[in-house]
Amino acid sequence: MNGGWARIAALALALMALPGCEGTRSPPPAQAVGTTTTSAAAATTLASTTTVPIWRVSGHVTNADGSPLARARVSLGESTAMTGPDGWFELEVMAPGSIDVAKPGWESVEIPWQDGHPSVSAVMSPLRIRGIRVGGEAAGDDAMFQSLVDLADRSAINAFVFDTKQEGGDVLYRSSVPEATEIGAVKPAYDPAERVAQAHEAGLYTITRIVTFEDALRAAARPEEKLAGPWLDPRSASAGAYNLALAQEACDLGFDEIMFDYVRFPSGSTAKVTGQLEMSQDERVTAVTSFLAEASRLLNPMGCAVSAAVFGIVVSTSDDQGLGQRPEELSGHVDVLSPMVYPSHYSPGWLGYDDPNGHPYDVTSAAIIDGQARIDEGALLRPWLQAFWWNDAQIRSAIQAAEDLGSGWTLWNVRSNFDLEALPTDAEVAP
């Protein structure tokens, strides 16, 4: 059960290599140079075996406040590099041209480059995502889906969050991952390739949510991976490989971002019988971060951003709450961290409020501020906001808190039931 995470890539790729699992996206060109350099060395003309001149150019990629951005893909012609934790890269190129800088979840940058210039710099801006959840039922109903597209067109909504694997383990499309069929998980509700194409045509960013370690179907079919109840062990290499194979397939289907939900150990009474509370915090956190690190290693080169949904409370507490989720560690391995900021779920007395649910702006603001202070510089904080048990004014108040703090956001409603009056317009969120 506790197999090494080094096996995950091989397992996932083996699953995807089986008949019917061919992807639609091509992998990026091979990396030409090492991923990092600590100095902006002068451009140097070298002699190759064919006497074609080669120029070496280095550079630095940052966000607007100057913080370095890791895992940005930098390319000129056939030469490609990835920035390291310090934001530096180095390329060897054979001709002048435009340097393209891309990072999933961020606006791409193009830099004209002429030989003789020793270094370049690029400043990237994050995509400000304002999204709504599109559950399987909504995605499978033509009229309902079109109504959500129309809602986005009339509001500031610019992203849809679909489900491809939901709670319980149901896979909501005709997956080509063999294990999904083998364990009886394939229960088609909609055609994701068709819906993604329609969303893209409407100018929308697309995210899919993959419920990861809460999976009753797989727990029954693969008891050796099970912790207790419907929960798989996050340390299980084979459980991880299955979810990564589904994630790679989703990326091939055209989704812009893969969000892993339930990427944790169980909570509540289940946690008391799994043995996880006898583990050290480092053991739990390492299990979760190892999975997410492998996900980013596989999915970022395919062009997909990687995000993780986490409990809202973990951004405001110093420990992992027994779940294996701490912002400091997790955010170093994903592009986006999405705490579920639902004031209705907070206990009486939180932040001094007898009823946190009655204070949408203040409670939402506090959680975002706490989270922003604790995430890795290369990651974004984009909370899930409560769009249930509230009226339109309360939902707007929580959205305003996120907007005031410069954060993107997504709205959770299990039935994908959203009112136009609860949503800001493009003019209201314009810079």
Give average pLDDT by consecutive 10-residue segment, the chain, 431 residues: 46 44 37 34 40 76 88 88 90 86 89 78 92 98 98 98 98 98 98 98 98 98 97 98 98 98 97 97 98 96 95 95 97 96 93 93 97 91 97 98 97 98 96 79
Q: How far apart are CA 431 and CA 427, in angstroms?
A: 9
Sign of CA dihedral 165, 170, 176, 177: positive
Q: How far apart are CA 82 and CA 70, in angstroms?
A: 8
To which residue do tokens 């030469």 refer?
Answer: 79
Nearest 10 degrees: CA dihedral of 121, 127, 128, 132? -170
Neighbours of 392 (CB within 10 A): 14
- As annotated, the residues of the chain forming the CATH 2.60.40.1120 domain(s) are 45-123
- What pLDDT was estimated at residue 78? 85
Q: Which residues neighbour 150 within 8 Å (Cβ) at sequence distance 6 or greater? A: none
- What pLDDT was estimated at residue 30? 29
pTM assigned to the model:
0.84
- What pLDDT was estimated at residue 105? 82
- As annotated, the residues of the chain forming the CATH 3.20.20.80 domain(s) are 5-22+127-429
Cα→Cα distances 337→120, 144, 205, 292, 305, Å: 29, 29, 17, 11, 11
- What pLDDT was estimated at residue 27? 35
Q: How far apart are CA 41 and CA 62, in angstroms?
A: 18
Q: How far apart are CA 345 and CA 356, in angstroms?
A: 8
- Name the CATH topology of 45-123: Immunoglobulin-like (2.60.40)
Nearest C-alpha neighbor of 188 from the set 205, 163, 219: 163
Q: How far apart are CA 426 and CA 431, in angstroms?
A: 10
Task: Confirm if 269 and 245 have CB atoms less than 8 A apart.
Answer: no
- What pLDDT was estimated at residue 53? 62
Q: How far apart are CA 63 and CA 185, in angstroms?
A: 41
Q: How far apart are CA 175 and CA 250, in angstroms?
A: 9
Q: Which residues neighbour 357 within 8 Å (Cβ) at sequence distance 6 or greater? A: 343, 344, 346, 389, 390
- What pLDDT was estimated at residue 112? 87
Nearest C-alpha neighbor of 334 from the set 271, 291, 392, 373: 291
- What pLDDT was estimated at residue 38? 33
- What pLDDT was estimated at residue 270? 97
Q: Which CATH superfamily groups domain 5-22+127-429? A: Glycosidases (3.20.20.80)
- What pLDDT was estimated at residue 113? 83
Q: How far apart are CA 237 and CA 370, in angstroms?
A: 32
Cα→Cα distances 374→330, 346, 360, 400, Å: 10, 20, 22, 21
How many Cα atoms sit within 13 Å of 13 on the Cβ side? Answer: 9
- What pLDDT was estimated at residue 109? 93
